[in-house]
Structure 1
Amino acid sequence: MNWGPTLAEDGTKFRLWAPDREVVTLEIADGDAVPMTRSADGWFSTSASVGPNTRYRFRLSDDLAVPDPASRAQSGGVHGWSVVVDHTYEWRTSDWIGRPWEEMVIQEVHVGTLGGFAGVADHLWKIAALGITAIELMPVNAFGGTRNWGYDGVLPYAPAESYGTPDELKALIDRAHELGLAVFLDVVYNHFGPDGNYLGAYAKGFFHAEVDTPWGGAVAVDQAPVHRYFVDNALMWLNEYKFDGLRFDAVHAIENDDFLDAMAAELRAKTAGRHIHLVLENEGNDADRLHASGYDAQWNDDFHNVLHVLLTGETSAYYADFADRPADRLARCLGEGFIYQGEGSPNHDGKPRGKPSAHLSPTAFVAFLQNHDQIGNRALGERLTLLADRQKLRAATALLLLGPQIPLLFIGDDHGSESPFLFFTDFHDDLADAVREGRRKEFAKFAAFADPEAREAIPDPNAHETFHRSHAHPGADATAWQDLYRNLLKIRHEQIIPRLRNAAAIGAEAIGEGAVVARWKMADRAVLTIALNLGDEAVAFPEIEAAPTYADGDAGQPGSIAVWLQP
């Protein structure tokens, strides 16, 4: 069976998988209580003569009523009433079929910091005018409270009430398509948040309690109802909302490749005729999932991590894996995709991580200098504009936008924002205390926060001010950064993207302690060469007779980059 309500001419059919319960009652707000029929496999179902906008919930006992775990909208938050939604919407862009993967230049955005779905829609023209071709929304499913990153969601089918209505989300996507922008959604299928998750009260089999994850028992995607719960959720976003792609958060925590492969196959089959893109976040650097398994690409944390070391000199926590010979590691990243391809790493207790990836296309990797994780998981949420030398950051930005990997930006990058992006939530009482103290304890291992008094400076995730400080404001030299991004994206669209399909690395090597040169054969057999120096000493760039397609800084000097495209 499928989850959630189904509208029909004579009313609505409701269903719930509650194998741990013998009796469940459908409650209609301001209406009747309707007994539900239980099947042998734990599914409860019933029909009621109600239509769109009806509020309902499921009564499990005298003292417990729960929202629909597949609620399409909520009234009164994640502990409130679920709402029947009519997904009929008159699309202005009904003929939109998307954009090819190699055209993607993605900007990640947080809906709440832009004022909800309507606020994002109003912002889209600025993104499109710069040359960005796609936006990626951090998770928008319902979570506890009114502000959150989205990874604490508990109702994956329901857009967060504080962001707007389902129709407002569709209007956002419709407007993006009018502007030629693809829209991705970040979805979380590896865990549920701590506030408002009632599944354990009636379906303990939804989780494998014996499999430990950072969030408790692992989600039991090998169980048919659970498998359908997530696959149908993905199909809802792609078909009912017309998202152009999904980014699957931390799939290494799902630990079930069969589920991932089956999901991709079904999503492809049921979205035929459109450009639909499926992207993984996978700490395991599993190249197998990127080769004939249905996934277009993986977020390449290795790209960010090694460039962060080169730009900032930071080598603590997970950056320790990239502290040794960072230029050699960057060369491997540019030439082969992943840096860790089966080697042990200090941050993983020496355990091997990754699989060989040199056979993959450069476009199988999404590259970024920073994102919500890499900024927001810092104690004070600092951006690279505050951590790195400006000229070196310009050079790294050019590498990101002119290299053949698919570039991802974070909201504010393009105007040099110096605003923090902090970890924020809207929890209360004991949970708020636990999150606040857990956040501060997490950073106790860092020298700067070893002193308990120093940890008091870490912003309280639940404070309203923490959320407001996380809005991206233009930096002092916003115009210069805008000009840089506009120029680089113009070059990418005119000279890189038309040559990207079937591009392949020729090789890459370190030419100094912080300098590399990398080469790729493009689709038309032109050779793309990028030489970059993020070190502190001058190096010799390759001697190429042709003038560079792009250059910044004095060739070979610290903070310089040169890019050539040769027939």
Structure 2
Amino acid sequence: MSELPPTPPAAGAAPEIMSVSRPPLPSTQPSSTTPAHFVHRMPFGPAPVNEYLPDLGYEFRLWAPAQERVELVHIVSDGERRLLPCLANEGWHTCRVAQARRGDRYAFRLAGGLEVPDPASRFNPDDVHGPSELMVPTSFDWDPDWRGRPWEEAVIYEMHVGTFTPEGRYDSAEARLAELAQLGITAIELMPLADFSGTRGWGYDGVLPFAPDASYGTPDELKHFIQAAHRQGLMVFLDVVYNHFGPEGNYLHAYAPQFFTSAHHTPWGNAVNFDGNGSETVREFFVHNALYWLQEFRFDGLRFDAVHAIIDDSRPHILEEISHRVRETVRDRHIHLILENGHNQASRLGKPGEPGRYEAQWNDDFHHAAHVALTGESDGYYTDFAERPIAQLLRCLTEGFAFQGDVSPYHGGARGERTDQLPASAFVNFLQNHDQIGNRAFGERLTTLTPEHALRALVAVQLLAPSPPLIFMGEEAGATTPFLYFCNFHGELARAVRDGRRREFGDFTHFSIGGKDREVPDPGAESTFRDSVLDWAARDEPHGRQWLAFYRGLLELRRTFIVPQARWLLRGRGKMMAGSEHAFEATWPTADGFALVMQANLGDNVSPCFTPFAVTPFATVGEMEAGENRLGPWSVRAYVLPAKAVTGGGTDE
């Protein structure tokens, strides 16, 4: 049996959490001086004819079953263009070019004369309509010794590269990594990088899934960013989109309509074909995409966007296949797979590393309950949380989902599956993310929507609960800059997006602070993008420094008291006790005889304390002057206790 962590002294003054000694960060230097080279070999994209004899050139392949004839357009460094015929075989068109070298541009010319980029392009420097660039993945020198971090250590920081810094590039973001590591972040999650149309966008309209968007830098600069993060002890995750392709720059319909099926429909039209005629190649395209990012770029994990819109009636489901292939292929380090799934399918989740399953899901239920508790908003999907937000928040903390087969008025039926066999680590909790900020008409953050003392209490609940937390960039410094929806489409598509955005918010009561007399920002305007860039100067002002100290202190406590217990937590054994309408006690017992306990009052009035433990809490946030047997308004206490102290009436035996 483990020893009980030493009881800390009582909490002091602001930031209202105690200070603890911080374990050293992982080494920032590689332990080996011999670099390694990583390349993911796949049937898509160009490949050397002989990897040991580069002078033999490259083989280019395109799956274009709707085309009888395809030509390769080979563009050398001086701009000379050569048209070379491809050999056709069962839908594949292949061309070998002995003169092809790194840095050459290439495209495929279809029978009607249309020139298209490689759908598996590793880089498209002239955007989605231009030719692809021939990359040599082995040109980058990697540190060979990075093994990742276990999932229970995850503190995730969601980042949009283009608005994280004024420069909006990998190298400028890299310069801030040490600061994030010192704050207590352990994982960076990048919003999608797949090449999208234009120079600015969220990334969810990508059309070249293997090509990092050139707006942020080159593929080697992305690799440099990831390696720099690893040297700071930071994992790096990537958000990938396998449920649709963007509306501009997607040429697949012209030569491979088998990528889509009319048998299933999504909000973006015909679904990606994972189960119909030709789906074998489509499935391999996405399986290899996942493996490509993990192997060639050394990402530590992937977050799969809106998988409820991935429709697959075959067996195994594509999500199950991807998980199996990843677990089988990448075995030299920790790899973490995360879902966004509006259906709350607990059956897709499991313990870390389990083949066919995923480590965790973004827990929208936690966010919605917390948001309603903080703001009182009840529009849209907040309708489901309007009556009992604290009770639903408590269920999220101790069980995972608030809806586990329960009827959802907003969705018009039962939603979700039971979670009693899942660990707390299977649910990523957040108070803000790109969707929940950016899908508001004016992109407001919680710092502008709710009182600071209330927000601090919810931050403490999030960071001191055992489930892995996610923080949206700037949140840690109390940022007030908005994060708006922005894109860079042109012509009729740009007008349609702008007008649709404004119609979307026409019936919302609480869609802005200023009311309905304000015009919703145009997503295509450059000013909308610029307004979303983080203000780094604000971090050095008193307000920013106070928030940074608050987050840093809570994350120190998480690392010291929560993480060591997290791996021992018993599945499905979280207990909840509701007190008044706004107060609760949550308990998470461990296999080695202890329990994490949180007591919280998320209301404006003093509430009785559930159990007056003899042990001093390791964290106290909010008004504690109400006494040890009472909880002040918007206050939180957290403990590590022997389990029998919790069940036996509060004595410290």
* Partner of residue 389, structure 1: 451
**Following TM superposition, by how much is the alpha carbon of 1:39 offset from its aligned partner in structure 2, in angstroms?**
1.2
1:250 aligned onto 2:306: yes
Structure number with greater CO (CA < 8 Å, separation at least 6) is: 2
**Following TM superposition, by how much is the alpha carbon of 1:502 offset from its aligned partner in structure 2, in angstroms?**
3.5
* Partner of residue 92, structure 2: 43
Q: 2:261 & 2:173 partners in 1: Cα distance?
A: 38
**Following TM superposition, by how much is the alpha carbon of 1:456 offset from its aligned partner in structure 2, in angstroms?**
5.9
* Partner of residue 404, structure 1: 466
AA aligned opposite 2:590: M
AA aligned opposite 2:398: G
* Secondary structure at 1:447 match in 2: coil
Q: Is the 8 A contact 2:577 2:586 kept in 1?
A: yes
Scaled by the length of structure 1, the TM-score of the pair is 0.97
AA aligned opposite 1:539: S
1:26 aligned onto 2:92: no
1:507 aligned onto 2:575: yes
Structure 1 segment 535-550 matched on structure 2, within 5 A: 535-542=603-610, 543-550=612-619
1:259 aligned onto 2:318: yes
Structure 1 segment 432-471 matched on structure 2, within 5 A: 432-447=494-509, 454=516, 457-471=519-533
1:315 aligned onto 2:358: no
1:345 aligned onto 2:408: yes
**Aligned with 1:4 (options 22, 39, 45):** 45
**Following TM superposition, by how much is the alpha carbon of 1:93 offset from its aligned partner in structure 2, in angstroms?**
2.4
Q: 1:449 & 1:265 partners in 2: Cα distance?
A: 42
* Partner of residue 519, structure 1: 587
AA aligned opposite 2:255: Y
Q: Give unmatched runs, 5+ long, in structure 1.
A: none
AA aligned opposite 1:496: I
Q: 2:516 & 2:562 partners in 1: Cα distance?
A: 47
Superposed structure 1 runs of 4+ greater than 4 Å apart = none
Q: Is the 8 A contact 2:379 2:510 kept in 1?
A: no
**Following TM superposition, by how much is the alpha carbon of 1:31 offset from its aligned partner in structure 2, in angstroms?**
3.0
* Partner of residue 31, structure 2: none
Q: 1:133 & 1:215 partners in 2: Cα distance?
A: 34
Structure 1 segment 265-414 matched on structure 2, within 5 A: 265-291=324-350, 292=354, 293-349=356-412, 351-414=413-476
**Aligned with 2:221 (options 156, 168, 171):** 168
Mark the CA change 1:449 to 1:123 in structure 2 (over 3 Å): closer, same or farther.
closer
* Partner of residue 488, structure 2: 426
Q: Is the 8 A contact 2:264 2:311 kept in 1?
A: no
Q: Is the 8 A contact 1:367 1:406 kept in 2?
A: yes
Q: 1:523 & 1:4 partners in 2: Cα distance?
A: 49
1:218 aligned onto 2:259: no
Q: Is the 8 A contact 1:440 1:455 kept in 2?
A: no
AA aligned opposite 1:500: A
**Following TM superposition, by how much is the alpha carbon of 1:408 offset from its aligned partner in structure 2, in angstroms?**
0.5
Q: 1:524 & 1:122 partners in 2: Cα distance?
A: 41
Q: Is the 8 A contact 1:436 1:462 kept in 2?
A: yes
> In terms of mean alpha carbon deviation, does 259-268 or 26-35 score higher?
26-35
**Following TM superposition, by how much is the alpha carbon of 1:92 offset from its aligned partner in structure 2, in angstroms?**
4.7
Mark the CA change 1:278 to 1:455 in structure 2 (over 3 Å): closer, same or farther.
farther
CA distances 1:373-397 after superposition (whole Å, capped 9, x unpaired): 0000000000010111211111111
Q: How many residues align?
A: 563
Q: Is the 8 A contact 1:91 1:174 kept in 2?
A: no
1:235 aligned onto 2:235: no
1:494 aligned onto 2:560: yes
1:472 aligned onto 2:534: yes
Q: Is the 8 A contact 1:7 1:86 kept in 2?
A: no
AA aligned opposite 1:32: R
1:77 aligned onto 2:133: no
AA aligned opposite 1:301: D
CA distances 1:79-129 after superposition (whole Å, capped 9, x unpaired): 001111100144352210100000110100001113211111111111011
* Partner of residue 54, structure 1: 104
Mark the CA change 1:539 to 1:471 in structure 2 (over 3 Å): closer, same or farther.
same
CA distances 1:510-533 after superposition (whole Å, capped 9, x unpaired): 222222210001354221111112
**Aligned with 2:159 (options 109, 114, 117):** 109
Mark the CA change 1:524 to 1:120 in structure 2 (over 3 Å): closer, same or farther.
farther
Q: Is the 8 A contact 1:552 1:561 kept in 2?
A: yes
Q: 2:148 & 2:565 partners in 1: Cα distance?
A: 19
* Secondary structure at 2:586 match in 1: strand
AA aligned opposite 1:44: H
Q: Is the 8 A contact 2:399 2:574 kept in 1?
A: no
Percent of counterpart pairs with the same letter? 49
- Of the two, which has the highest radius of gyration? 2
AA aligned opposite 1:373: D
Structure 1 segment 86-97 matched on structure 2, within 5 A: 86-97=136-147
Q: 1:216 & 1:117 partners in 2: Cα distance?
A: 33
Q: Is the 8 A contact 2:568 2:592 kept in 1?
A: no
AA aligned opposite 1:177: H
> In terms of mean alpha carbon deviation, does 102-111 or 522-531 score higher?
522-531
**Following TM superposition, by how much is the alpha carbon of 1:509 offset from its aligned partner in structure 2, in angstroms?**
2.6
AA aligned opposite 1:116: R
* Secondary structure at 2:175 match in 1: helix
Q: 2:358 & 2:266 partners in 1: Cα distance?
A: 24
Structure 1 segment 526-565 matched on structure 2, within 5 A: 526-542=594-610, 543-555=612-624, 556-565=631-640
CA distances 1:218-242 after superposition (whole Å, capped 9, x unpaired): 1012311111111111111000000
Q: 1:91 & 1:283 partners in 2: Cα distance?
A: 40
* Partner of residue 17, structure 2: none
**Following TM superposition, by how much is the alpha carbon of 1:358 offset from its aligned partner in structure 2, in angstroms?**
2.1
Mark the CA change 1:220 to 1:397 in structure 2 (over 3 Å): closer, same or farther.
same
Q: Is the 8 A contact 2:477 2:545 kept in 1?
A: yes
AA aligned opposite 1:425: C
Q: 1:343 & 1:273 partners in 2: Cα distance?
A: 41
CA distances 1:389-438 after superposition (whole Å, capped 9, x unpaired): 21111111111111100010000011000010000001111111001001
Q: Is the 8 A contact 2:71 2:84 kept in 1?
A: yes
**Following TM superposition, by how much is the alpha carbon of 1:448 offset from its aligned partner in structure 2, in angstroms?**
5.5
CA distances 1:191-222 after superposition (whole Å, capped 9, x unpaired): 01111001011111111123110111110123
Q: 2:101 & 2:220 partners in 1: Cα distance?
A: 17
* Secondary structure at 2:550 match in 1: helix
Q: Is the 8 A contact 2:117 2:129 kept in 1?
A: yes
**Following TM superposition, by how much is the alpha carbon of 1:537 offset from its aligned partner in structure 2, in angstroms?**
2.6
Q: 1:149 & 1:461 partners in 2: Cα distance?
A: 11
Mark the CA change 1:494 to 1:86 in structure 2 (over 3 Å): closer, same or farther.
same
Q: 2:579 & 2:605 partners in 1: Cα distance?
A: 11
After superposition, the CA RMSD in angstroms is 1.6
Q: 2:534 & 2:590 partners in 1: Cα distance?
A: 36
Q: Give unmatched runs, 5+ long, in structure 2.
A: 1-41, 625-630, 643-653
1:193 aligned onto 2:262: no
AA aligned opposite 1:303: F
